[in-house]
Structure 1
């Protein structure tokens, strides 16, 4: 078992514990929760983990268990990495103490979505890395628990690079840039092309390719929101975005080639003031309702020189 020590006090405290047995998990989690219970001006800590390990923690805490929140990790991690950002941000807004003070023990659900493919693992590592920027303003203390029996050594090694204080930690911009340097697969030759992101045409295409009415509406809105984010400064009287569509439900894909360069790695990850996704929230809406959103340099991907390629997969 290894436990990464805490960084300087006063900023987001992003720790990591690696374990290979339930006893090692308790040995890492118990001091963390004990520290939380002794912290002044903090609400009760929350442990988000495998239900069996939560039961072990309750036993180990004894009477202190009544002062700790327990959440099965399948109830917390219910969607994409972007959904996990929203869940964490919403919890801090509603429950954290002054400055975002709260202790969160967080075990990803590797038997669920997070561990089902290399693609999902990449998204999760991106989330772990960007969390250092997203939650930097908060005095939140998070201990991310990685079980080598379910996560595996490759995932654990990648996660170490996203946690400050480990010997292999990489700055978020460097790590995310590395993840995004992998070229996207080429669109199929039979992809349908639209000259502009027209909502009606997008809905019709989505329904023709297997999405129900409600999902087709969400898909079309997600595409329109992403296109708007990529046409901020062009000043064009008419849209300059190219649209490619392919795939069948639930994995309907849209690739947008937009005129503006989207260089901010946090684009679409920063929560708006409104807690729930709504029209007008740009890439935040798109990331919340879609399984995957990839943003690449337009020239590198054969798109608009100086612009960006945004690839969206709905399901």
Structure 2
């Protein structure tokens, strides 16, 4: 069964959720939403981003009208981490949406792939769903997030409801993000090495390469670590793991109180001071920030 809203007046970011368990239910939720987008003045054609089978069912239901809709396989859209999805969405809206970001998008995460491969990964995508309400708040984009119970599962669907304003269990995004951040991080690995003399890019790159990361990956990891270290002052740094998973943990003598830190796309291609966490989130699989007692811990995991 699907759950969605209809008759919503145009305005700032409109973030909806549909839950379905069959191709027919997906089509039943998507068709009126796409029709709403087609009827919205000043908007480009609506777009469906979903699993190939769901897109095919939608094309069949639309018939000749399918020419008026954009179709994107979700594995072509969701190609990396949740932070990558933020960048993808922001870039698409800047290039393809109408004035103020006006466009209707059906969006189905790849719950049968990266997003659903672990509890940790699923939590990152729930965070993305929650923070989207803040990140895209100024935009007049209308999104229908499609959750297929055949791949997402009941636990993910229940948590996702808390990130969507059109449900009865919607949580404030800051509160939900804080709840996710309250889960303790695993302790450093037994092979943890303490960096001395500051966080030097060459030292991090050499360590990562010696631990099995190809040189290009070691370079990206080292750049991410040094960009995060620029948030300092750094009072301690640890490195551990081996390819494909290398981890750095930085202790900072300051708090990073903003849960959106590193998620807001920079206005220009060249990073400015304080924007390095954006680069780190784009490069690393996970970037965790934990605050307490006037300090912060930033942990970066590559791969």
CA deviation profile, 1:250-283 (whole Å, cap 9, x unmatched): 11000000111001000000001235x8686410
Gaps of 5+ in 2: none
Partner residue, 1:143: 144
Q: Which residue of 1 aligns with 2:34?
A: 33
What does the per-residue CA deviation read over 1:100-151, in whole Å, with 9 as the maximum and x for residues that have no partner?
Answer: 0000000011111011110110000000000000000000000000011110
Contact persistence 1:221–1:279 (CA under 8 A): no
How many aligned residue pairs are there?
300
TM-score scaled by length of structure 1: 0.92
The answer for the alignment partner of 1:236 in structure 2 is: none
User: Is it true that 1:3 corresponds to 2:3 in the alignment?
Assistant: yes
Please give the alpha-carbon distance, in whole angstroms, between the structure 2 residues aligned to 1:252 and 1:8. 47
Contact 2:228 2:280 in 1 (8 A): yes
Inter-partner Cα distance in structure 2 for 1:293 and 1:274: 22
- The SS at the match of 1:55 is helix
Do the aligned residues in 1 keep the contact of 2:162 with 2:169 (CA within 8 Å)?
yes
Matched residue SS, 1:223 = helix
* Unmatched tracts of structure 1, length 5 or more: 232-238, 300-304
Query: Aligned with 1:60: secondary structure?
Result: helix
RMSD, matched Cα: 1.4
Matched, 1:292 2:291: no
| In structure 2, C-alpha distance between the alignment counterparts of 1:220 and 1:128, rounded to whole Å | 29
Superposition pairs for residues 1-315 of structure 1, below 5 Å?
Answer: 1-5=1-5, 9-195=10-196, 196-229=198-231, 231=232, 239-274=233-268, 281-297=275-291, 299=292, 305-315=293-303
**Could you tell me how far apart the structure 2 residues matched to 1:58 and 1:197 are?**
53
> Which residue in 2 is equivalent to 1:302?
none
- CA displacement 1:201-232 (0-9 Å, x = unmatched): 10111011011111111111100111112x2x
